[in-house]
Structure 1
Amino acid sequence: MTHSQHLHGQHPHEHGETPSHGHSHSHGHSHGESQGHARSHEHSDDQGMAEMLDMDAALQAVHLAEITDWVAGLAGAPEAIVDLGSGTGTGTLALAERFEKATVFAVDNSEQMLGRLAAKAEARGLDGRVIKVHADLDVQWPEVGTADLVWAASSIHHVADPDKVFSEVLAALNPGGLFAVVEMDSFPRFLPEDIGFGEPGLEDRCHRLIDAQGWNAHPDWQGQLEAAGFEVEQRNFSYELAPEPSAMAHYAQLWLGRTRTGLEDKLSPEDLASMDALLDKENPAGLGHRTDLVLRGSRTVWAARRR
């Protein structure tokens, strides 16, 4: 999949961009920061994003497989697949393994992410069928030839002109080809309503603030896809998972740490104190010591077919 899709100077996570990055970014750099920022910071944040994407793939594997199963059932036997915003390769590798005769073009604007993806493909013996393509969709459509399946997970809502991209995808698809657009409905949730301290509903308040900031915001793509000339089928996939506790705690630490940074000037002092307690690895009530974390969320998928 996912979750990252770096197409045009942003780092849309497999779920969309993380809260610490905000919503409006420069299109000139692969991590969504202005090019005046230090390269060392860019590299470090790229690595942090890559770690999160890899954890997405591992901890949400069952959920993501449900989505790819559904898409695979609609796609037939594609020979040429394009993954728009391949990130560290969750979607690319899943599609390459599912469709054993297909060539998969992994399109991304981050050379580091593409390098990480290429190493994974080689380790799985897929490097002969996975082709990395460094490209910026806001500049031009990548040179990938025609395709039977185009996959875009948490990426389309970041491009400057989605309607232009939809037209380009339609033109690139062979007749009867499928375009799968995947979006995270919200950032994942981990906490119970009452975490045992502070005011109940901490995560709900964080999510309301996230929504108000417009992070990960995307429309219902159905109307625009139909206007572009596609026949569209839409489906929602929800998940409620309880991965291995230490992995879950680390994943929650990454997400909630970024949330705390992004909302530092929006949360109340009491909620900031609660977040700090959760993120404190030495605190007995912190994420690493909790047994009540459950990974919850959902994605919407638009399966758009070229007539």
Structure 2
Amino acid sequence: MTPTQTPANHSHHDRPGHGPALGDDSNLAEFQNLDGVLGAPVLAAALNAAAGALGTAPRTVVDLGAGTGTGTLALTLAAQFQNAQIHSLDASPSMLDRLAAAAATADVDDRIETHVVDLDGDWPAVLPHEADLAWAALSLHHVTDPARVLSQTFEALRLGGVLVVTEVAGVTTYDPADLGTGRAGLGERIVGALAAHGYPVTADWTIALAEAGFAPVERHAYTFTASARTTDGARYLALQLTMSLARLTEDLSADDLTALDDAITALVAGTSEVVMTSGRFSWIAVRPITTGSNQHDTGAPGDSR
């Protein structure tokens, strides 16, 4: 999701909340697309888990905070669920323009509808009817009131509908730790300095989803990897570290900043062999078919390892 304003920083990574914006639209759009390309195994696994929880193919899907489509997520949804209408929501018209262009190129624009809307507003009003599947990829931590958005999503889904939430998890690591610069511990210092600014935001949504009424709630753990040995991985890491360099000019030593710049130069030149690894969590949350006081009888929040 592209927020309408830069969210407030905080360092409470164990609960939902805000994190700093990633940068201008052009860099952010490319970064989002590459994140989706490199995270395709995570996307596929989460989609399969969602399909299993639904039991039947969805006819209406809503993508909350779609951005550019997160590596053509909307196209993947359209391909996997060939009878589904995809409603892609985001606050940035330029991001949705990119998504619409990609949909037209893939000849699925008749099934993907974009909506310029803020998730902090009355976004359910743009949906024509209840949705079967809702998708929130790296977007919930941007909203002002996550509990409200989860409650809105619960009400926007049909009984038995499914919400999939995907977020960053765990600690980011670089191999080699010096990013190939000879500057020992550079990667750890970058990760630590970014964490002090509240990035990346990591949060456990299990309790929040249960409190919104979803049951069962299952959490699945995945690994996300970006390797400079591939063209997409090298470009992803170059963008990531370039944005980190812009954020951390006051946090790292002059020698570290120089080394970081050298690491970016190597990535752009195609001579780097850096591999970055981080975690991803995906929550599969069901709106129970049973209503009223017994709505949680369909299951309890769980953890799929």
TM range (shorter): 0.7 to 0.9
TM-fit CA distance, 1:112: 0.6
Q: Which amino acid aligns with 1:258?
A: M
Aligned length: 272
1:105 aligns with 2:87: yes
TM-fit CA distance, 1:49: 1.2
1:148-297 matched pairs, under 5 angstroms: 148-185=132-169, 189-231=173-215, 232-240=217-225, 242=227, 245-280=230-265, 288-297=269-278
Which segments of 5 or more consecutive residues in structure 1 lack a partner in the other structure?
12-21, 26-30, 33-44
Counterpart CA distance in 2 for 1:63 and 1:206 is 25
**Contact 1:246 1:288 (C-alpha < 8 Å) held by counterparts:** no
Find runs of 4+ consecutive structure 1 residues off by over 3 angstroms.
Answer: 7-11, 22-25, 186-191, 194-199, 239-247
C-alpha root-mean-square deviation of aligned residues, in Å? 2.4
**Contact 2:226 2:236 (C-alpha < 8 Å) held by counterparts:** no
**Contact 2:229 2:272 (C-alpha < 8 Å) held by counterparts:** no
**Contact 1:252 1:287 (C-alpha < 8 Å) held by counterparts:** no
1:69 aligns with 2:48: yes
Counterpart CA distance in 2 for 1:259 and 1:295 is 14
**Contact 2:179 2:274 (C-alpha < 8 Å) held by counterparts:** no
**Contact 2:180 2:273 (C-alpha < 8 Å) held by counterparts:** no
Counterpart CA distance in 2 for 1:206 and 1:243 is 18
Q: Which amino acid aligns with 2:269?
A: G
Which segments of 5 or more consecutive residues in structure 2 lack a partner in the other structure?
8-17, 289-305
Deviation string for 1:158-210 (max 9, x for gaps)? 11111111111111110010011110126865541244544322111111111
TM-fit CA distance, 1:47: 1.5
Counterpart CA distance in 1 for 2:231 and 2:118 is 37
Q: Normalising by structure 2, report the TM-score.
A: 0.81
**Contact 1:80 1:103 (C-alpha < 8 Å) held by counterparts:** yes
Match of 1:306 among 266, 284, 287: 287
SS of 2:77 mapped into structure 1: helix
Q: 1:248 to 1:216 in 2, by over 3 A?
A: closer
TM-fit CA distance, 1:117: 0.5
Q: Which amino acid aligns with 1:263?
A: L
Q: Which amino acid aligns with 2:151?
A: S
TM-fit CA distance, 1:64: 2.7
Give the stretch that moved more between structures: 235-244 or 159-168. Answer: 235-244
**Contact 2:62 2:135 (C-alpha < 8 Å) held by counterparts:** yes
